[in-house]
Structure 1
Amino acid sequence: MEKKYDSKLSFEVKVIDDKFGYVMIPGMVFSDNSAENISKIAQPLYDRIPKIKSSHKLEGWIIDLRLNTGGNSAPMLLALYDLLGNNEIWGELDENKKSVRKFKLVDGSYIQKSQTIAAITPSGRLLDQERVAVITGMFTGSSDEVTALAFKGRENTIFIGGNTAGYTTGNVTWPLPFRSLIALTTGYDSDRDGNYYPYIVPDIVIAKQDNFENLLSDANIQEAVKFIESETSKN
């Protein structure tokens, strides 16, 4: 894992064994948080999934969040729009763990109340009923935990790997004198049903059996394939 983490990570979408879609999402840190810039970043990432879904008959999808330490979750979530569908996908809780806001995807737009945070132009059918395995680990942190949370409560979904980093709060920075900043926690992150997790515990725990050079030899991928194929056999 360390070798892959130390390499220059990029957003990957590919097919494994001619049957499984694989999406590797790296951290996404940038300073321009305007709707225009987020949409500009998200669209080419999203476009790679319709290209795969239209050219292959896949049994399911694997979302790999193991090496994503965070940044801005908006382009990550928009890139995964086909798999998340038109749904509320996560929320924020106050100090009493009561819901104060929900975030949702609607027709390619990422929305909080009446505000469109950013948007992509969707293409083709949704994949929101497809089997999905989400792989997490100790580097899965902050906004990437929000990306993982978006799949909590989704049907036909399993979590595999290790516990996430445990940065499941909303934070803002505030300027102070002498060019310093303070980070203020403004709420707790929740899944679509309002559940808070100090960190995300996978359904199937796997430790130190990663193989990014040969994904079919990676124990996390192997468990994902078992889940997808076992579900396939029931249909």
Structure 2
Amino acid sequence: MQKYSINRKTIDWSSFTQQVNAKLQGAQSIADTYPAIQLALTLLGDNHSSYTTATGTLLYGTRSISCSDGAPTPVPANPKIGYVKVSGFSGSGTAATVFAESIQASIKQADTDSIRGWIVDLRGNTGGNMWPMLAGIGPILGEGVAGYFIDPDGNATSWAYQKGASIIDQTQQVSVETPYTLRKSNPKVAVLTDRATASSGEAITISFKNRSNTRSFGTSTCGLSTTNSSMVLSDGAILNLTQGTLADRTKTLYGQQVQPDETYYSATAVDKAVAWVLQ
């Protein structure tokens, strides 16, 4: 934590260690340390780091934000608007490829010559694995660098979509075997967000920031627009540690809630998005 935390330069590590060690008193097993680990996660102050025990239990610290919202208003079918929903997803491997391909399949199914633009619905996307999301939405997002991870020292690592694959700094992450190409390239895109758009959902939201012919509608996102890296510990437990801040293609940093271009609630956000695509 002291070496890699996103807040490593601002935390008082002497006080941090003292508080965590005090919580460890009497611990006789790894399981006995869980309260101290949860305290450490709280003291990190990033709201995003977590710890998965060797038996699969997910532990968080005390969080100062909540990533929840009401049920999203459905987007009405319109022959002039393509609609695609990108939900949260936490799988990997083959499951991640299948998830990416399912998004591209829904894009292909919705695409027609009469479409004037697209609505990308990220409401309720609580995050998980961003790479299949990015690979899936790529045909609408377009090719090239869409954002960056930036650490506290200012080192930037890019993320991109190219030829059916999501990419981190030239390294392919998830790839669709037969990527779809839109009938009309570089389309008009309206993005929908709400308070339940979090973490990787926010990464996809940011991917559309500063894209041409694009506008976002809804409410601000949850505020977990930071990046986690996983560290496997000696007993098989995993520390998911927040190490960097998400930035858009212009390297504008986020780290907090991502604000929409137009703030509206529920049905009004949908109506405004539809009207903008059609105008």
TM range (shorter): 0.7 to 0.9
SS at match of 2:111: helix
- The amino acid that maps onto 2:274 is V
Mean Cα deviation higher: 101-110 or 170-179:
170-179
Alignment map for 1:73-84 (pairs within 5 Å) = 73-84=130-141
Residue 150 of structure 2 is matched in structure 1 by: 93
SS at match of 2:99: helix
Deviations 1:18-49 (A, max 9, x none): 2111222221122xx33x44223211321221
- The amino acid that maps onto 2:169 is K
Residue 208 of structure 2 is matched in structure 1 by: 151
Deviations 1:46-100 (A, max 9, x none): 122122214x51111111111111111112111111111111011110104x242
Say whether 1:206 aligns with 2:264.
Answer: yes
- TM-score between the two structures when normalised by the length of structure 2: 0.68
CA distance in 2, matches of 1:175, 1:63: 34
Structure 1 residues 171 and 143: CA distance shift in structure 2, 3 A:
same
Structure 1 residues 42 and 73: CA distance shift in structure 2, 3 A:
same
Q: Is the 8 A contact 1:82 1:127 kept in 2?
A: no
Residue 68 of structure 1 is matched in structure 2 by: 125
Say whether 1:18 aligns with 2:18.
Answer: no
CA displacement at 1:219 relative to structure 2:
1.1
Unpaired segments ≥5 residues, structure 2:
1-68
SS at match of 1:122: coil
- Which has more radius of gyration? 2
Residue 70 of structure 2 is matched in structure 1 by: 2
CA distance in 2, matches of 1:221, 1:15: 9
Q: Is the 8 A contact 2:104 2:180 kept in 1?
A: no
Q: Is the 8 A contact 2:111 2:183 kept in 1?
A: no
Mean Cα deviation higher: 142-151 or 82-91:
82-91
- TM-score between the two structures when normalised by the length of structure 1: 0.79
Mean Cα deviation higher: 42-51 or 160-169:
42-51
Residue 183 of structure 1 is matched in structure 2 by: 240
In proportion to residue count, which structure has more strand?
Answer: 1
CA displacement at 1:126 relative to structure 2:
6.2
RMSD between superposed Cα atoms in Å: 2.4
